[in-house]
A and B are shown apart, each in its own frame.
Chain A
Amino acid sequence: MIHLYKNNGYNIVMDVNSGAVHVVDDIVYDLIPLMEDDLDVSIDVLKEKTGGKYSDEDIAEAASEIKELAENGSLYTKDTYEPYVDKFTDQKVKTPVVKAMCLHIAHDCNLRCAYCFAEEGEYHGRRALMSYEVGKQALDYLIAHSGNRVNLEVDFFGGEPTMNFDVVKQLVAYGRSKEKEHNKKFRFTLTTNGVLLNDDILEFANKEMGNLVLSIDGRKEIQDKMRPTANKNVSSYDIIVPKFQKAAESRNQTNYYVRGTYTHYNTDFAEDVLHLHDLGFEQISVEPVVCDPKEPYALTEEDVPKLLEQYDYLAKEIIKRRKEGRFINFFHFMIDLEGGPCIAKRLSGCGSGSEYISVTPWGDIYPCHQFVGEEDFLLGNVYEGIKRTDIVEKFTRCNVYSKPECKECFAKFYCSGGCAANSWHSTGDINGNYKLGCDLQRKRIECAIMIKAALAEAAEEAEEKDA
């Protein structure tokens, strides 16, 4: 399976099943689809099918290079992984391992974000703070069910977790106290809206949190419209921006993200990304809203062409800024071609409901934070364990081969079938496809690879200059 596309002057060929990526000239770009079924197709046929625009000599040379790629296993590679999925998933169903946990430290919030899937922290439930006892039990559950996994991830999430920060501190201390005994290493993450962020919290986060996620949507008018304070006269943007700038600098511009959501109200979201960069943030994630399509801020099919243009525009701007020596990392354009995940990971997806679970303030377990409060997805609790193993099995078996539309998609090994919650929200089935999300995901992958090609070319040019 191959995917060919042109972006920003580059002709890119993705060999989907090997993971190889080639940047090619026009003639190879034209010939690759013509040789997919027959590597030995004659020059005459290739010449005819390309309208006679290339010479026999050029066609012969290009065809020989295509043949070489195919022979070394980096073009026209067949998908041979499907049989392995059952092997992986059977094993996971038989001996489930939990390695990541989202702890809902506070089902309460001090902002009134319009699109919050946590419904201002309440998650279709009641306002509540997690007690130390529940949190401790949750960490014990994670340790006990993590098999021989060493790295365990725990995200302190909400609502707004800084509204219950003493418990966060106690749980970090408890987790650390258990690491040696159980041969585990906790990686803690804190996601915060910044309102209560102070020196004490920042100092603690810099010592203990492997990642800090700072929620901000971008330009002041966008932030204040979608993420208002309870007092309409007080701008959340004004409160949080200086704190976030300080936090980013104190972490040496690494191991954090400023993270925003874009909606129907800011389909020109690239401006928000660039605004955040102009504010001095180098690690940026701005992502499409996920919500009921009936909401006025929901993204629509009509928005898609503009959103795709925005990603193209953003990609070009990022290349420009990077070439100027202004570092910027946009989360959704990150792609690790060389050191990325193995095929087993790419076949297993995000791990929600199997490797990854969410725990409410009172200890209920859900497949992930997006499902919290959806009673049909209540798996169990941290005291009695998971009762609904049928739901866990369904999530464990959810992958690119369980979704018919994913099988034929070039993006399948980058998104691994996408987000189960998005699928469920849009189709009522975790094995469904959230079409709008898929359209955006495909564009992001194309842009991400184009950026790699452009930066590789720039590095090569710089080397030649130096030589």
Chain B
Amino acid sequence: MKHVKTLNTRDYKKSLVTGGCGECQTSCQSACKTSCTVGNQSCENKNK
């Protein structure tokens, strides 16, 4: 495309099918302890 550059992202809709295993990190455990940041967590599902 000439006018648009799309960053590589995970398609949420597709993740409805493959997601939900629950093995990912709990948001607060990593560093914050005072705020919720889910978008920075990494998915741990190898079959995604």
Query: Does A pair with B?
Result: yes
Could you tell me which A residues sit within 8 Å of B by CB distance?
Answer: 17-25, 27-28, 61-62, 65, 68-69, 73-74, 77, 80-81, 84, 88, 97, 99-100, 102, 117, 149-151, 153, 155, 157, 187, 189, 191, 211, 213, 257, 259, 261, 285, 287-290, 331-332, 334-346, 349-352, 355-356, 368-370, 413-422, 437, 441, 445, 448-449, 452-453, 456
Q: Are A17 and B12 in contact (CB under 8 A)?
A: yes
Q: Are A356 and B19 in contact (CB under 8 A)?
A: no
Q: Are B32 and A285 in contact (CB under 8 A)?
A: yes
Complex CA–CA separation, A418 to B17 (angstroms) = 25
Main secondary structure of the interface of A (DSSP, over half): mixed
Q: Are A18 and B13 in contact (CB under 8 A)?
A: yes
Instruction: Please indicate the chain B residues that have their CB under 8 angstroms from the CB of A25 in the complex.
Output: 3-4
Q: Contacts A24-B3, A261-B34, A370-B34 hold; do A73 and B13 have CB atoms under 8 A apart?
A: yes
Complex CA–CA separation, A68 to B3 (angstroms) = 12
Interface residues of B in 3-21 (CB under 8 A from A): 3-13, 15-16, 18-20
Q: Are A18 and B12 in contact (CB under 8 A)?
A: yes
Instruction: Please indicate the chain A residues that have their CB under 8 angstroms from the CB of B36 in the complex.
Output: 349-350, 415-420, 422
Q: Are B27 and A351 in contact (CB under 8 A)?
A: yes
Q: Are B10 and A338 in contact (CB under 8 A)?
A: yes
**Known pairs A346-B38, A413-B39 / 7 extra A-B pairs, C-beta < 8 Å:** A211-B29, A213-B33, A285-B32, A332-B37, A336-B42, A341-B39, A344-B19
Write the chain B residue with the least CB distance to A29.
B3
A-B contact count (CB 8 A): 226
Complex CA–CA separation, A263 to B32 (angstroms) = 15
Write the chain A residue with the least CB distance to B22.
A149
What are the nearest 8 A-B pairs in CB distance?
A342-B19, A414-B39, A344-B20, A342-B15, A100-B26, A334-B40, A350-B27, A416-B38
Instruction: Please indicate the chain A residues that have their CB under 8 angstroms from the CB of B9 in the complex.
Output: 18-21, 337-338
Q: Are A345 and B38 in contact (CB under 8 A)?
A: yes
Smallest Cβ distance from B13 to chain A, in angstroms?
A: 6
17 A-B residue contacts at CB 8 Å? A20-B9, A21-B6, A24-B5, A28-B3, A81-B12, A289-B34, A342-B15, A342-B45, A343-B12, A344-B19, A345-B38, A349-B36, A413-B39, A418-B35, A445-B39, A448-B39, A456-B5
Q: Are A422 and B35 in contact (CB under 8 A)?
A: yes
Complex CA–CA separation, A456 to B37 (angstroms) = 22
Complex CA–CA separation, A343 to B38 (angstroms) = 11
Q: Are A153 and B25 in contact (CB under 8 A)?
A: yes
> Among the listed A23, A343, A370, which residue makes an inter-chain contact with B16, where contact means beta carbons less than 8 Å apart?
A343
Complex CA–CA separation, A211 to B22 (angstroms) = 20
Q: Are A65 and B3 in contact (CB under 8 A)?
A: yes
Q: Are A342 and B43 in contact (CB under 8 A)?
A: yes
Smallest Cβ distance from B17 to chain A, in angstroms?
A: 9
Instruction: Please indicate the chain A residues that have their CB under 8 angstroms from the CB of B42 in the complex.
Output: 336, 339-341
Instruction: Please indicate the chain B residues that have their CB under 8 angstroms from the CB of A74 in the complex.
Output: 6
Write the chain B residue with the least CB distance to A440.
B35
Write the chain B residue with the least CB distance to A17.
B12
Write the chain B residue with the least CB distance to A98.
B26
> Among the listed B10, B16, B27, B48, which residue makes an inter-chain contact with A81, where contact means beta carbons less than 8 Å apart?
B16
> Among the listed B4, B12, B31, which residue makes an inter-chain contact with A331, where contact means beta carbons less than 8 Å apart?
B31
Q: Are B31 and A213 in contact (CB under 8 A)?
A: yes
Q: Are A349 and B1 in contact (CB under 8 A)?
A: no
Instruction: Please indicate the chain A residues that have their CB under 8 angstroms from the CB of B35 in the complex.
Output: 287-288, 290, 332, 418-419, 422, 437, 441
